[in-house]
Amino acid sequence: MELDDLTHTSGEWLRGTGPEADIVISSRIRLARNLAQFPFLSRSDESTRAEIEGLLHQHVSDLRLPQPLTYLDVQNMSELDRRFLVERQLISRELCESSGARGVGISSGENVSLMVNEEDHLRIQVLRSGLALEDCWEEIDRIDDSLEEKVTYAFSEQLGYLTACPTNVGTGIRVSVMLHLPALVMTKEIQKVYQALQKIHLAVRGLYGEGSQAMGDFYQISNQVTLGKSELDIISEVKDVIPQIIGYERKYREALVKEKRRDLHDQVSRAYGILRTAQTISSEETMHLLSSVRMGINLGLIDDLEIPTVNELFIHTQPAHLQKLRNSALESGERNVARACYLRERLASNNDVP
Amino acid sequence: MKKCSKCPKPATLHITELVKQVPHEIHLCEDCAQQYLNQDEPSPASEPEEGMMVKLQLDAGDKELAELDKNVCPNCGISFREFRSQGRFGCPHDYVVFGDELEALLENIHDERQHCGKVPKRAPSDSQRQYQLIKLRSELRKAVAEESYEEAARLRDEIQAMETALSQGTGDAD
């Protein structure tokens, strides 16, 4: 698999098929790991970084996974390709923006990514469509076990897996669920969700993790504590709260349909109309409109469009994706025209799911 | 780690306040910071006394900072003050070297101090030797940079011997 092969496809986690997929976009678990015999990356010079990268590149490439894995050299990749992988959720912004020897192993279905020389020597990530945290854990635990046979992780009996930042020490686990919550945003109930989650030490973030804004009504809920609890306890804490949020979102969707059906139908139809006919459109407006359309499909207000197509459009209309599709660098204004053109074409033939 | 000016927790918020046109630093933990930020304007009557109290803490703070600079990891060379300013450790051994200072910080972040999750099947034995490898590698790079090739060769042999011993040790354990 080449990087360019990803341009026209979309990851399995976007297929919208898992449990609760109308509201839960994806489940993700990542583990932070470091090699015992090397300093952390903030204290590694270029040659040490290269040595760590070489070693982990080898072990990552040797992994036997259900799907074939491709290792990409992020250091020598163009900025556009790096941004493309960030939009695709396959690498973090930190791996994209840092410097020196670094890479990523990606499984063909895009469910697994292994980042080498991110904040920690190794960040293993597993993604699934819908609410499927146990599946994520089973796979990531197996990958971690396989790697652990080859390398010695920095580990202490008292503090667990030792990480570059003390906020990850212990299990090194970050469990995240991405939710689409348009009704809670429309009714301004989302603030209550924020406050309730903060009280139980769960973090709420935007689509691209730490520091990012919640665009298109997507919210990522994840654990903050990594020490003193087992991986399964941490997974349960995140998982147990999700049905309540789903229930809350459904309740407000139903109320909107009951009390403001005409207004809601009008909003959804206008959004769909603009997306099908606009000649120039910004990334932000696209996200906003796609969010309305996505909710409209789930409520039966739009019947000629599939959720996977909308999920795919969220990703494929972002700046780096558009430039990869066009195979050329585009300025912001040019991207808005290209985005509108792409949306028109894709929505005119929306029954042809690739 | 600087302590909160009002309670024993580590400070996460650092405020410079003007008391009678003289700047004073206040260091607060998350809870005390909330209280501080929510309180009304400080009453003028309490200013001189509070200023004096903060000043005393500031002097203690300077001494504390000098101490923090002395607390250095022998393997990667990072000081506790550097860790504090950048929020990232230099090597796994820092968790041992800065153990005392870290206890309160970890408790503040995680509410716990003891790992109870997954344990690698491969024994994390010989960690002292693993940490020593970090130091030897850094000395080797320095020797090469200084063109001390005899020293570099000696260090290279030492690293190789230690790596062999470690891999055989782990092999036996398996």
Tens digit of each residue's pLDDT (9 = 90 or more) over A42-92: 999 999 999 999 999 999 999 999 999 999 999 999 999 999 999 999 999
Q: Is A158 on the interface with B (CB under 8 A)?
A: yes
Distances (CA, A) of B116 to A160, A164, A240, A293, B119: 8, 19, 20, 45, 8
Sign of CA dihedral B108, B111, B115, B118: negative
Cα separation, A85 vs A93, whole angstroms:
9
- Reported in sequence order, the residue ranges of A137-264 that DSSP labels E, i.e. its strands, are 155-156, 160-161, 173-180, 202-205, 218-223
Contact A45 B133 (CB under 8 A): no
Q: What is the per-residue pLDDT for A213?
A: 53
* Measured CA angle at B3 (ends B80, B76), to 5 deg: 10
CA distance A81 to chain B (A): 28
Q: Which residues contact B70 (CB under 8 A, 6 or more apart)?
A: B79
Cα separation, A33 vs A140, whole angstroms:
12
- Residue range A214-262, pLDDT digits in tens: 677 999 999 999 999 999 999 999 999 999 999 999 999 999 999 999 9
Instruction: Give me the residues of B, 80-139, that contact A with CB < 8 A.
Output: 86-92, 95-96, 102, 105-106, 109-122, 124, 127, 130-131, 133-134, 137-138
Q: pLDDT > 70: what percent of chain B?
A: 60
Looking at every residue in chain A, the average pLDDT score rounds to 91
Residue A221, phi-psi category: left (phi > 0), alpha (psi -120 to 50), beta (remainder) = beta
CA A132 centroid distance within chain: 14
- Token pair recorded at residue A159: 């503090």
Tens digit of each residue's pLDDT, chain A (354 residues): 777 778 777 788 778 787 888 899 999 999 999 999 999 999 999 999 999 999 999 999 999 999 999 999 999 999 999 999 999 999 999 999 999 999 999 999 999 999 999 999 999 999 999 999 999 999 999 999 999 999 999 999 889 999 999 999 999 999 999 999 999 999 989 889 988 998 888 988 876 555 555 677 999 999 999 999 999 999 999 999 999 999 999 999 999 999 999 999 999 999 999 999 999 999 999 999 999 999 999 999 999 999 989 999 999 999 999 999 888 899 999 999 999 999 999 998 654 444
- Which of these, A111, A61, A70, A56, lies nearest to A89 by C-alpha position? A111
Cα dihedral: A195, A201, A207, A213 (round 10):
50
Taking every pair of Cα atoms in chain B, the longest distance, rounded to a whole number of angstroms, is 72
* Interval B126-154 mean pLDDT: 83
Instruction: Give me the residues of A, 243-262, that contact B with CB < 8 A.
Output: none
Cα separation, A25 vs A2, whole angstroms:
26
Contact A228 B91 (CB under 8 A): no
- The residue among B101, B105, B109 with the most chain A CBs within 10 A of its CB, best to mutate, is B109
The residues that bridge with A155 in the sheet, in sequence order, are A161
User: Does residue B46 surpass a pLDDT of 80?
Assistant: no
Buried b (16+ CB within 10 A) or exposed e, B1-35: bbbbbbeebbbbeeeeeebeeeebbbbbbeebbee
| pLDDT interval class at B55 (50, 70, 90) | very low
Please indicate whether residue B27 or residue A311 has the higher confidence score (pLDDT): A311
Q: Cβ–Cβ contacts within 10 Å for residue A47, how many?
A: 12
Q: Is A157 exposed, middle or buried (0-12, 13-18, 19+ CB in 10 A)?
A: exposed
CB distance A86 to A320 below 8 Å:
yes
Nearest CA in chain B to A162: B92
Q: Is A324 exposed, middle or buried (0-12, 13-18, 19+ CB in 10 A)?
A: buried
Q: Which residues contact A53 (CB under 8 A, 6 or more apart)?
A: A75, A101, A102, A103, A116, A117
Q: What is the per-residue pLDDT for B52?
A: 43
Cα separation, A156 vs B124, whole angstroms:
7
Q: What is the per-residue pLDDT for B47?
A: 37
Helix (H) or strand (E) holding A333: helix A332-348
Helix (H) or strand (E) holding B30: helix B30-38
Complex ipTM: 0.86
Q: Which residues of B touch A143 (CB under 8 A)?
A: none
